[in-house]
Structure 1
């Protein structure tokens, strides 16, 4: 699974992790009761509107942070796909829409590439530049799992049936999510105080107390959209700091993104689930 030793980072991770642990632990987990829930929406080309039955589960109130991932690496010596394959994709203002830069130095420690700084002052930001494969390794170590596609949507909607848990008008998104507010990605946008990720839990939660369900980072989920999908495909939901009203617009309750299980992006992260 790509484990090795890196003494300098083990020491740094241990120093960083002695502090009061993790925004995710501070915020805890939210119980979603067993029941039958409606998911998707009419005219959704990805999945039909339907009712699904789920057992109770507990979903993390916040996305998994750099501090949490550092604890995992300190305990195991795990080496991520981006560190081994040098294939992470990052963003800088000025690129055409939906264009990303390949940066061989980018990884979870330097999520926008080494020239743009590391995570020393961003330990409570969501971990990024990790692949679906890396996330599975973390979950096995932490004895947690990813939400399914349906579980994520149920938790995100928090009992609502609108496009957003706050209604159908996306103008209120700025109170709940770190997204890109610029007309395009030609110029840097720090309208909400952040160009890239923001600390988890910085914006308002949904009605069930879950933070950053929209924006900040796309969140990996388990499951497939169709039986015809290839094994190397993974899915994520919720949109990211890169998503804007004019491009992507995936910061809603119904969209599902697709990514290769070994791909690593600077806007891709995850949150975890425990048994209810």
Structure 2
């Protein structure tokens, strides 16, 4: 019995000594890792919803295939991100304009420019041995919308009331902003990023930093489909009218017929029912800018199947992808796979945008 007792005491002593040794961690000697401050996003930013990670069949899987190299289909995976429930409205974009007015202390709209920096990742990847600071680009962008687009796009139509009122009048506050180029939309994203992160830093909020941007066209399509894979519209399809006889989107319903769906031009950003993710007007109303470059390099057939995108800032690749069709397009042009290329410097009366912030929630 005595020997057993001594053995037990010896084991206890060894465990105690071992435990003491384990607590003697020396950061100058032991590999302990470096931890950053733990931050998280406590809730989606105001007006945004979370789009969870997932895979889907992207591309023209819901319409007749053509010889167009872009009309292909491919299963891809998209990481989670926040997305605006609605297209950016006149009132929201006006907040940007007013901020710039205050910062520059001017009411002259021709003087309203916003200067921001962005990193050209595509160029950095292709020139990995170069000084990376050379790919940090500073740009100043005139940010006031081109209100004349209503007459430029429709030269023989009486749209002067839209030129004078659409952006500036309160009656259109909740309508999507138009007359905004891709570069202006990018400037808005940079401003929103700075506003969000600066506020949290100033008020010492333990919130993760977010970068707001335009979605890639494949993030846009994934979100637009609203969990309905290989369907032509965000609500499924193929019917564009619901069981009560109401149109499900804002589009051109027939030759010379723009108003049967409830809107002659654009409609408010929360018109019609949202898709399964809670996103409004993902097709029709206004086409939406994406960050993606339009061209052969951006063809889905040659892109990665994990978070694919191709965004170039080269002058010879200035056409950017706009998705979803608009109020002036017929039903076959407002599919979740509909895409057009528009020069990044140009604006029109039928293209707007919404923003995203990449953030994967780890469960």
What TM-score results when the alignment is normalised by the length of structure 1?
0.74
Q: Which runs of structure 2 are paired with 1:33-72 in the superposition (5 Å)?
A: 33-42=52-61, 43=65, 45=68, 46-72=70-96
Q: Decide which of 188, 191, 203 is 1:138's aligned counterpart.
A: 188
> SS of 1:72's equivalent?
helix
CA distance 1:102–1:119, change in 2 (3 Å): farther
2:57·2:76 contact (CA, 8 Å) conserved in 1? yes
2:232 equivalent in structure 1 = 163
Q: Which residue of 1 aligns with 2:297?
A: 227
Report the structure, 1 or 2, having the larger helix content: 2
Partners of 2:222 and 2:171 in 1: CA distance: 33
CA contact (8 A) 1:66 1:124 kept: yes
Q: Distance in 1 between matches of 2:289 and 2:156?
A: 21
CA displacement at 1:214 relative to structure 2: 1.1
CA contact (8 A) 2:234 2:282 kept: no
Secondary structure (helix, strand or coil) at the match of 1:74 reads: helix
Q: Distance in 2 between matches of 1:154 and 1:47?
A: 16
CA shift in 2, pair 1:36/1:270, >3 Å: same
Out of 287, 305, 328, the residue aligned to residue 242 of structure 1 is: 328
CA contact (8 A) 1:111 1:118 kept: no
Could you say which residue in structure 2 is the equivalent of 1:271?
Answer: 354
Report the aligned-residue RMSD. Answer: 3.1
Does the C-alpha gap of structure 1 residues 111 and 50 become closer, same or farther in structure 2, counting only changes over 3 Å? farther
- Name which of 176, 180, 186 aligns with 2:248: 176
**TM-score normalised by the chain length of structure 2:** 0.57
Aligned pair partner of 2:177 in 103, 127, 141: 127
**Residue matched to 2:155:** 101
Matched, 1:217 2:296: no
Q: Stretches of 4+ moved more than 4 A in 1?
A: 79-84, 115-118
Deviation for aligned residue 1:119: 3.1
Q: Which runs of 5+ in 1 are unaligned?
A: 1-23, 93-98
Cα displacement string for residues 28-83 of structure 1 (whole angstroms, at most 9, x for unaligned residues): 22212223322113426324211222221011111101111110011113357586
C-alpha offsets along residues 147-172 of structure 1, whole Å, 9 cap, x if unaligned? 10000000001121111133332432
* TM-fit CA distance, 1:184: 1.9
Q: Partner residue of 1:18?
A: none
